[in-house]
A and B are shown apart, each in its own frame.
Chain A
Amino acid sequence: MRRDAAGDNARASATAGFCRDCFADVPDRVPRCIACKSPRVLRHAELAALTIAHVDCDAFYATIEKRDDPSLADKPVIIGGGKRGVVSTCCYIARTFGVRSAMPMFEARRLCPHATIVSPNMEKYVGVGRAVRRLMLELTPLVEPLSIDEAFLDLTGTERLHGTIAAKSLARFAARVETELGITVSVGLSCNKFLAKIASDLDKPRGFAILGGAEAQSFLAPRPVGLIFGVGKVSQERFARDGIRLIADLQRLPEIELMRRYGGEGQRLSRLSHGIDNRKVSPEREAKTVSGETTFETDIADFRTLERTLWRLCEKVSGRLKASRLAGTSITLKLKTADFKTRTRARSLSHPTQLAARIFDAGRDLLEREADGTRFRLLGIGVSSLEETADADMGDLLDRRAAEAEQAMDKLRARYGRDAVVRGLAFEGKMEDDVTEDE
């Protein structure tokens, strides 16, 4: 089953390693762990030298649901909202039927009609995500979260603290996540973020793959340029026109030539193609956008109904901005029409805001122009151009109480629960929430 770089490398098998189940050292050329007979032996020429890791939870939401309902263990499970919407996550069994995340639900149902469909329980997932993060922080303070279920870790200089090499600390961490939290993770270990992220994908699920600096060049050479982050479909087509399809094609060209052709991006590509990535693992990764969106059970054209949904989304987005002490100046409204056309409309504010009322005012104004009787299936609102809150929501001469009123409302809710105070316009009956949020 192992497809990781270490396994492919002939030299690696002639190297000492350790067991991922009992952590005992395993000498050269011994196929299984001597102590526990486990075949999960990790070996690599650079095993002791590599310290940058990428950790990714396996089918995160689906794994949590299977953990909590063992009867689902051997069934395909899809996490997604209601009759409509898209697949947020699906388990590995569902994937064998061709189901993928972000696929429309109706398509997933067609591919895998006997799948068990579970509505997302974000609160539970956020809790598990935090627990995983806590275990990561026991390894190193340099944890850079990429999302709820993945992060980069820099374990440089932690050998003495943990009394063992980074690889073994990570293997122990992965085992702890399994026993304490009941979910599995995949680890990619390398010498930089770019390679670590590639590695974590090589041995999924419950994997541990090592990609050493020495083998990076030859490992990358036969892979398509699309493997490099930031090289999407459009860039791939452009590169293909220039005769660049594989990373090897990039490796062949001198850095100067790539810079001449593609500017600063050329330099980045050249370095990454040789496995060079100097980005630091920085614990304070800044969110670029905070947004929320919802797909309706049935298409909606009525402005009042859309407006009410918008207000609820604004409150959620605002809550997240407040929690992370961020405020932004760009408000983006997103709509998807019944025939799947996406419309986004943006508005800039002169001052950063984190207030639901201000986000709503801008969003409502944009929505009013679009709500011309068109039926929409999805509505979303996002705040970007984020900064720290030092001068957010500076007092407004004409509306001096806006910030204070909302802060008072937040305090009441913190004490008495979300429904303690409800704005008039949101009060007309409750609707099912189907909100996915991303950073």
Chain B
Amino acid sequence: MKVTVERSALLKSLGHVHRVVERRNTIPILANVLIQAENAKLAFRATDLDLEVTETIPAEVGPSGATTVPAQMFYEIVRKLPEGAQIVLEASGDRAVLTIRAGRARFTLQTLPVSDFPDLAAGDMTHSFKVSAADLKRLIDKASFAISTEETRYYLNGIYLHAAGAAKAATLRAVATDGHRLAQVELPLPAGADGMPGIIIPRKTVGEVQRLIEDGEAEATIELSPGKIRFTIGDVVLTSKLIDGTFPDYGRVIPLGNNKELVVDKAEFEAAVDRVSTVSSERGRAVKLALTAGKLTLSVTNPDSGSATEELEVEYESDPLDIGFNSRYLLDIAAQIEGETAVLRLADPGSPTLIQDRESKGALYVLMPMRV
């Protein structure tokens, strides 16, 4: 095998694939990236057995061939080579090394046989549809903050993606919750997603997809089956196992009947919550919202250091109400609101609150109150 490729193209690709490789690995082959060269193309593949990323870039290919080398080291070498360098990768069948040459620098890396490299056999995908990269990014970004990190309820460690609603109102819906807050984001159901199974996309996969979309690709293709999902974004293909579990019936925790409506200027509210929570002993302690007609008083009391209050003019016409929230959670949700105005629908100090963006539909958040 002999390939010549420009450094920046190689670096970008390796940047995508090498992160999948777990740093601490007990199986040597999983620390490696698979390199395949043929037909003027150079392909890379890395996997952690749950997630596999492949990327193909154009390259000048001499004799074709394939090998595997330690991903982290290969990436570091390419990163440290000078910008604009032409890099030559060469492997011969009789020696288990890959030679990397650029200018007057020369490296040899030990290789492991291609036949040992695991294939995350994708099997048949049952559904396939396309979404714009911007829509996919929005769907994932707005839900991902609520993903649980607690292993006990492993089925909450991802985003639940499913088709909701019927006929013209059908949507592709992403839901995430950690039991304290819940995010639900949706898009009109793309063609081909009809009747798709409800799936749970693991947290790590969600993070990788987020990073891949950041490069500004126009469109993403999603293929899925009950056990796997595959994202094709530009030259990158990411295949992932899904979380094998049942996502809870989240619909029953969304308090659509809450009748006390609070309308706030989002920026003003966010800044005020952030300000009063400065006196909290740690981030994420309770902020109290005291509501009376037209007025919201935010306050935080920390027995060790002091207290803070701030008043805001708001739209509120229901009976006075005092309710507490974890300030970090409140800020996380506020950060998801794109419009100028946020609407909070409350019931009582012990029941979940519904938070929405007044201007843009298609996303809602639920937050459990705290005792104050």
**Residues on A facing B (Cβ under 8 Å):** 347-351, 361-362, 365, 390-391, 394-400
Return chain A residues, CB-CB under 8 Å to B182: 397
Q: Among A347, A395, A397, A398, which residue has its beta carbon within 8 angstroms of that of B152?
A: A347
Docked-complex contact B148 and A350, CB < 8 angstroms: yes
Residues 157-188 of B contacting A (Cβ, < 8 Å): 177-182
Measured CA separation A303–B253 after assembly (Å) = 34
A-B contact pairs, 17 of them (CB 8 A): A348-B150, A350-B178, A391-B285, A394-B180, A394-B326, A395-B352, A395-B368, A395-B370, A397-B177, A397-B179, A397-B181, A397-B182, A397-B253, A398-B153, A398-B248, A398-B250, A399-B179
Measured CA separation A399–B152 after assembly (Å) = 14
CB distance from B166 to the nearest CB of A (A): 25
Docked-complex contact A398 and B253, CB < 8 angstroms: yes
**Residues on B facing A (Cβ under 8 Å):** 148-153, 177-182, 248, 250, 253, 285-286, 326, 350, 352, 366, 368-371
Query: Assuming A350-B150, A362-B152, A397-B177, what are 8 further A-B pairs, CB within 8 angstroms?
Result: A347-B151, A394-B326, A394-B368, A395-B180, A397-B253, A398-B248, A398-B250, A399-B179
Measured CA separation A391–B181 after assembly (Å) = 15
Docked-complex contact A361 and B180, CB < 8 angstroms: no
Docked-complex contact A365 and B151, CB < 8 angstroms: yes
Count chain A CB atoms within 10 A of each CB in B151, B152, B368 and give the residue with the most.
B152
Known A350-B178, A351-B180; judge A394-B370 contact (CB<8 A): yes
Known A362-B152, A397-B179, A398-B248; judge A391-B286 contact (CB<8 A): yes
By Cβ-Cβ distance, the 6 closest A-B pairs, closest first, are A396-B179, A397-B253, A395-B368, A362-B152, A398-B248, A361-B152
Docked-complex contact B371 and A391, CB < 8 angstroms: yes
CB distance from B219 to the nearest CB of A (A): 35
Return chain B residues, CB-CB under 8 Å to A397: 177, 179-182, 253, 352, 366, 368
Measured CA separation A390–B304 after assembly (Å) = 14
Measured CA separation A399–B248 after assembly (Å) = 10
Count chain A CB atoms within 10 A of each CB in B178, B179, B326 and give the residue with the most.
B179
CB distance from A329 to the nearest CB of B (A): 10
Measured CA separation A34–B149 after assembly (Å) = 73
Measured CA separation A396–B152 after assembly (Å) = 14
Docked-complex contact B285 and A349, CB < 8 angstroms: no
CB distance from A353 to the nearest CB of B (A): 11
Count chain A CB atoms within 10 A of each CB in B177, B180, B181, B369 and give the residue with the most.
B180
Q: Nearest B residue to A361 by beta-carbon distance? A: B152
Known A350-B178, A365-B152; judge A396-B368 contact (CB<8 A): yes
Docked-complex contact A398 and B179, CB < 8 angstroms: yes
Count chain B CB atoms within 10 A of each CB in A347, A349, A362, A397 and give the residue with the most.
A397
Q: Nearest B residue to A365 by beta-carbon distance? A: B152
Measured CA separation A278–B82 after assembly (Å) = 58
Q: Nearest B residue to A331 by beta-carbon distance? A: B152
Count chain B CB atoms within 10 A of each CB in A390, A394, A400 and give the residue with the most.
A394
Known A396-B179, A398-B253, A399-B179; judge A391-B152 contact (CB<8 A): no
* Majority DSSP secondary structure for residues of B touching A: loop
Return chain A residues, CB-CB under 8 Å to B368: 394-397
Return chain A residues, CB-CB under 8 Å to B150: 348-350
Docked-complex contact B177 and A398, CB < 8 angstroms: yes
Measured CA separation A351–B284 after assembly (Å) = 11
Return chain A residues, CB-CB under 8 Å to B253: 397-398, 400
Docked-complex contact B350 and A395, CB < 8 angstroms: yes
Return chain B residues, CB-CB under 8 Å to A396: 179-180, 368
Return chain B residues, CB-CB under 8 Å to A395: 180, 350, 352, 368-370
Return chain B residues, CB-CB under 8 Å to A361: 152
Q: Nearest B residue to A391 by beta-carbon distance? A: B370
Return chain B residues, CB-CB under 8 Å to A399: 179
Return chain B residues, CB-CB under 8 Å to A390: 286, 371
CB distance from A294 to the nearest CB of B (A): 23
Return chain A residues, CB-CB under 8 Å to B352: 395, 397
CB distance from A142 to the nearest CB of B (A): 21
Measured CA separation A365–B153 after assembly (Å) = 9
Measured CA separation A398–B151 after assembly (Å) = 16
CB distance from B228 to the nearest CB of A (A): 24
CB distance from A395 to the nearest CB of B (A): 5
Count chain B CB atoms within 10 A of each CB in A350, A361, A398, A399 and give the residue with the most.
A398
Return chain B residues, CB-CB under 8 Å to A351: 180
Measured CA separation A398–B179 after assembly (Å) = 6
Measured CA separation A339–B224 after assembly (Å) = 48
Measured CA separation A400–B348 after assembly (Å) = 14
Measured CA separation A400–B366 after assembly (Å) = 14
Q: Nearest A residue to B352 by beta-carbon distance? A: A397
Return chain B residues, CB-CB under 8 Å to A365: 151-152
Q: Nearest A residue to B284 by beta-carbon distance? A: A391
CB distance from B117 to the nearest CB of A (A): 28
Measured CA separation A394–B368 after assembly (Å) = 8
CB distance from B273 to the nearest CB of A (A): 17
Measured CA separation A186–B153 after assembly (Å) = 50
Q: Nearest B residue to A397 by beta-carbon distance? A: B253
CB distance from B369 to the nearest CB of A (A): 7
Q: Nearest B residue to A392 by beta-carbon distance? A: B371
CB distance from A402 to the nearest CB of B (A): 10
Q: Nearest A residue to B369 by beta-carbon distance? A: A395
Return chain A residues, CB-CB under 8 Å to B286: 390-391
Return chain A residues, CB-CB under 8 Å to B250: 398
CB distance from B75 to the nearest CB of A (A): 31
Measured CA separation A395–B324 after assembly (Å) = 12
Return chain A residues, CB-CB under 8 Å to B178: 350
Q: Nearest B residue to A350 by beta-carbon distance? A: B150
Return chain A residues, CB-CB under 8 Å to B285: 391
Return chain B residues, CB-CB under 8 Å to A398: 153, 177, 179, 248, 250, 253
Measured CA separation A362–B150 after assembly (Å) = 9
Q: Nearest B residue to A362 by beta-carbon distance? A: B152
Measured CA separation A347–B153 after assembly (Å) = 12
Measured CA separation A390–B152 after assembly (Å) = 23
CB distance from B331 to the nearest CB of A (A): 16
Q: Nearest A residue to B255 by beta-carbon distance? A: A397
Measured CA separation A287–B276 after assembly (Å) = 31
Measured CA separation A58–B334 after assembly (Å) = 60
Docked-complex contact A350 and B366, CB < 8 angstroms: no
Q: Nearest B residue to A389 by beta-carbon distance? A: B371
Docked-complex contact B248 and A350, CB < 8 angstroms: no
CB distance from A421 to the nearest CB of B (A): 24
Return chain A residues, CB-CB under 8 Å to B350: 395
Measured CA separation A350–B179 after assembly (Å) = 10
